Amino acid sequence: MEFDFAYLTAQWPALMRGLWLTVQVSALSIVLSILVGVLGAAVRVLQVPVLDKLVVGYVEFIRNTPLLAQLFFIFYGLPGLGLRLSLFWSGVLCLTLWAGAYQIENVRGGLETVGKGLREAAFSLGLSPWRFFRLVAAPMAIRVGLPSMLNTSISLLKNSSYLQAIGLAELTYVAIDRISMDFRTIEMFAAICVIYLLLVLTLSFLASRLEYRLNAPFRL
């Protein structure tokens, strides 16, 4: 059996629909997970009572349980607890919570490079701890933490393929769905691997542009 390009051309519209869903779910989850990361890191660094313990527990839980178990918990478990989400939003919630835990650590790592001196300077100008965080620490931490935040975002993008397990018709779902009908395994998996690769490269490119901009103050 030889590689059948004509078959792929025929399946192209379906693959593009899957790709579009993958892009939507991933982009939304990346943005939300970074938000979770910044807020969670703020809670940790500012040592907000009670909340900081919750954040530690959350991060440990996510890091020490399988993503698939988390996904099934959200999709099958939450309705039992009275929270019914659509397929799409179950997917977004799962990826956001998963990546958010890692982003908290990434932002925290960046925050460690923001010295005590800047904190004291900000305080001595009358800024509150929260304003210091927003205006000084977070922007600096994001610059330093960008490479690790990119890694987490790439993992998120790749892990979006797990969402096929709950039946969200993203890229991997489309591929598996077609394979079960047409048995064109090689063509389909080759195609989606190339597409994922292109997505990751695009994401890396965008991040490097952002890094270049954020680094402007530090270039002579």
Site of interaction with another protein (CB under 8 A): 117-118, 120-128, 131, 135-136, 139-140, 143, 214, 216-220
Task: Give 85 or 214: the residue with its C-beta nearer to another protein.
Answer: 214
The letter for the amino acid at 64 is: N
User: What does the block give as tokens for 75?
Assistant: 């999709």
Nearer to another protein, 4 or 120 (CB): 120
Distance, first Cα to last Cα, the chain: 58
Nearer to another protein, 23 or 136 (CB): 136
d(CA 177, CA 168): 11
**Shortest Å, Cβ 143 to another protein:** 7
Distances (CA, A) of 196 to 14, 128, 170: 15, 44, 12
Nearest distance from residue 139's CB to another protein, in Å?
Answer: 5
> In the complex, what is the shortest distance from the CB of residue 138 to another protein, in angstroms, rounded to a whole number?
10
Question: Is residue 120 exposed (0-12), middle (13-18) or buried (19+ Cβ within 10 Å)?
Answer: exposed
Question: Is residue 18 a contact partner of residue 175, using CB atoms and an 8 Å limit?
Answer: yes
Least separation in angstroms between residue 209's CB and another protein is 17
Choose between 202 and 215: whose C-beta lies nearer to another protein.
Answer: 215
